[in-house]
Amino acid sequence: MTLDARARAFAEGLQRSTIRVDPVARLEELGRRRRRRRVARVATALATAIALAVVAWIGVREAERVAPIVNPPPGSLGRVVATIPVGASPVDVLVGQDAVWVANAAQGTVSRVDPAANTVTGTIQVGRNPVRLAAGFGSIWVANETSQTVSRIDARTGQPQATIPVTGHVAPEDLAVGAGAVWVRRHVRLWRLDPATNTMADETGDWEVGGAGTAVVDRLLWLSGNTFSGVGQIVRVDPATSRVVDRFTTAGSGALVVGGGSVWQAGITTQSIYRYDPSSKRLLAQIPVGVVAKHLTADAESLWVSSDSGRVIRIDLATNQVIGTFQVDGRAPAVAVGHGSVWIVDTAHAALLRVRPG
Amino acid sequence: MPAARPTRNTAPAPGDGGSRAVRLPGPFEHFYLQEYPRVVKLVYALSGSRAGAEDIAQEAFLRAYRDWDRVGSYAHQAAWVRRVAANLATSGLRRRLVEARALARLAGRRELALEPLPAEQADFGRALRALPRRQAQAVALFYVEDLSVQQIAVVLGCAEGTVKAHLAKARHTLAKRLQLDHEEER
């Protein structure tokens, strides 16, 4: 047995051994510990000396005031026309034909929003910590990270159809639809979910690219990420054989999307977006955005970038220029476009913002 | 899902002494839910402590929560909490303190959420923990967290070349100790 095989077996063993770790159950405890610690701190300070306590209190207050998040002024992305309350910790949004869907991580639910009325018309219980949504085969697919399952919801009725466990007790973190299947990804691991049977097959190949950028382009799977030696790459995989068709080194390693006849990739450490020609695989443009892009989406005219810093950025596909920005208070982990609007997940207010582009 | 769960989006006001409702900030809550299981796994690998892993991870998140005004503005929040957790897990004294508190609290009250590892994997864990601290952290982040060299460099706050050197030395040592073939990764 090789060292790498042994190490990976160790990692798999750890995954299995920590399967019952429940972040939701421990969340309250964290809050209680935080409060207990505050109380203990105050008691200690009182017991020591009033003067010392006052000095310490002033110090703590000064330290707590540190929050200089300096953001450039938001530009002209558009104006908010509706703020729609959804579940706690919304993390992903998807625009469907009749509805807009939001994954609420902390509640383990998906909200179904009627774009005609700007209201939630249904809340569907899925697995724990749903992190990613995808649409295809008449369904909405939900990657439940903590449950290590994929939920299937009827896109027309909003009714749950199936819960499919990911084989090998692995937490899914990305989804892509295309080439006759739903593709479920976790780092280097990849599964093919057959929508006809709701069964999942491990299709992990020897691409050795870990990351979370996954797309289907011209019936090929594009996987974005870093190799084990830390080099950003996009690997193109034939979904029929799970074999690597080709690979090319990239400047980025993050989220991936197709739009305007190009493939767009997020650069994590460079805080840039990279544009590639899918045929020649040539880098066409690097667009600095000043944020770590979390999620990319594209329509006919624009690329939309969301980020954990709360900034949403619009890039013009024709000129590769940033033409609009929008800032939310908390994180903006996802953005989607459709029904004449931009839909932005706003974690600070547990809401979905509907923005009319300016 | 549990019946009661904090869902508010505002941080508790200083001196908020209520005993029932536990309020956590929305962005922190989201960050915590996403990262907590992974950090527990990392800590378990580095500490080998079933009893203490969750508490060490909690300690790291507690520090993130305490300084969320600052940490929440970082581009690499996940890296920050991993660095704190990895340092706690590999610092003998601090780890033992947290473990002792965890054991005291757990005594007869709660079943451990973490399962013991099979013997062969436990051997690997022991060999990992016998490595010098930074090497052990690099190996755990590489294999357990599946992070790239670039990402590990961000977590450990060092150059990519340093990470590569740590990994190379660690792999050599592990292969020797465990009598395994040592194949360089690409």
B30 and A106 within 8 Å at the Cβ level: the answer is yes
**pLDDT of amino acid B184:** 45
Task: Determine which of B33, B47, B67, B73 to mutate to test the interface with A (most A C-beta atoms within 10 Å).
Answer: B33
DSSP per-residue letters across A160-220: EEEEEEPTTS----EEEEETTEEEEEETTEEEEEETTTTEEEE---TT-EEEEEEEEETTE
A18 and B114 within 8 Å at the Cβ level: the answer is yes
What residues in B contact A290, CB-CB < 8 Å? none
pLDDT bucket at B78, cuts 50 / 70 / 90: confident
**pLDDT of amino acid B17:** 32
B5 and A28 within 8 Å at the Cβ level: the answer is yes
Q: Name the closest residue on chain A to residue B19, using Cα atoms.
A: A32
B1 and A271 within 8 Å at the Cβ level: the answer is no
Region B58-75: mean pLDDT is: 82
DSSP per-residue letters across A50-85: HHHHHHHHHHHHHHHT------PPP-SSEEEEEEEE
Contact criterion met (CB below 8 Å) for A184 and A195:
no
User: Under CATH, which number does the domain B117-186 receive?
Assistant: 1.10.10.10
Q: What is the mean pLDDT of chain A?
A: 85
Helix (H) / strand (E) containing A112? strand A109-114
Region B120-138: mean pLDDT is: 92
What gap in Å lies between CA A158 and CA A221, rounded to an integer? 28
Is pLDDT above 50 for B5?
no
Region A67-95: mean pLDDT is: 75
Task: Determine which of A19, A26, A32 to mutate to test the interface with B (most B C-beta atoms within 10 Å).
Answer: A26
Exposure of B115 in the CB half-sphere (CA atoms within 13 A): 13
**pLDDT of amino acid B8:** 30
B113 and A21 within 8 Å at the Cβ level: the answer is yes
What gap in Å lies between CA B61 and CA B63, rounded to an integer? 5
B115 touches chain A (CB under 8 A): yes
Q: Name the more confident of B104 and B61.
A: B61
**pLDDT of amino acid B2:** 32
Choose among A10, A253, A291: nearest Cβ to B121.
A10
**pLDDT of amino acid B107:** 56
- Which pLDDT tens digit goes with each residue over B32-60? 888 888 899 999 999 888 878 888 898 89
- Measured CA to CA in angstroms, residue A193 lies from A175, A199, A218, A245, A353 at distances of 10, 6, 19, 21, 32
Name the CATH superfamily, with its identifier, for domain A78-357.
Answer: YVTN repeat-like/Quinoprotein amine dehydrogenase (2.130.10.10)
| Most confident option among A149-163, A249-263, A290-304 | A149-163
What gap in Å lies between CA A334 and CA A352, rounded to an integer? 10
Q: How many CB atoms lie within 10 A of CB B16?
A: 12
**Window 120-139 of B, Cβ < 8 Å to A:** 120-121, 124-125, 128, 139
Q: Name the more confident of B103 and A261.
A: A261
DSSP state of B64: H
Which region among A70-74, B127-131, B175-179 has the lowest average model confidence (pLDDT)?
A70-74
Which region among A268-277, A320-329, B92-101, B111-120 has the lowest average model confidence (pLDDT)?
B92-101
B54 and A33 within 8 Å at the Cβ level: the answer is no
A24 and B116 within 8 Å at the Cβ level: the answer is no
What gap in Å lies between CA B34 and CA A102, rounded to an integer? 16
Contact criterion met (CB below 8 Å) for A329 and A339:
no
Identity (one letter) of the amino acid at A337? V
What gap in Å lies between CA B112 and CA B54, rounded to an integer? 9
DSSP, collapsed to helix, strand or coil, labels residue B83 as helix
In chain A, where the domains are located: 3-64, 78-357
Q: How far is A128 from chain B (nearest CA, A)?
A: 8
**pLDDT of amino acid B16:** 32
What gap in Å lies between CA A163 and CA A179, rounded to an integer? 22
B174 and A3 within 8 Å at the Cβ level: the answer is yes
Helix (H) / strand (E) containing A243? strand A243-249
In chain B, where the domains are located: 24-116, 117-186
DSSP, collapsed to helix, strand or coil, labels residue B164 as helix
Percent pLDDT > 90 in chain A is 45
Q: What is the mean pLDDT of chain B?
A: 76
Percent composition of chain B: helix, strand, coil (DSSP 3-state, to 5): 65, 0, 35
DSSP state of B117: P
DSSP, collapsed to helix, strand or coil, labels residue B40 as helix
A18 and B44 within 8 Å at the Cβ level: the answer is yes
B143 touches chain A (CB under 8 A): yes
Choose among A28, A171, A227: nearest Cβ to B186.
A227
Quote the tokens at residue B70.
């600052």
B77 and A308 within 8 Å at the Cβ level: the answer is yes
B116 touches chain A (CB under 8 A): yes
Quote the tokens at residue A346.
């706003």
Percent pLDDT > 70 in chain A is 90
- Which pLDDT tens digit goes with each residue over A286-329? 898 888 888 999 998 999 999 888 889 999 999 998 888 888 88
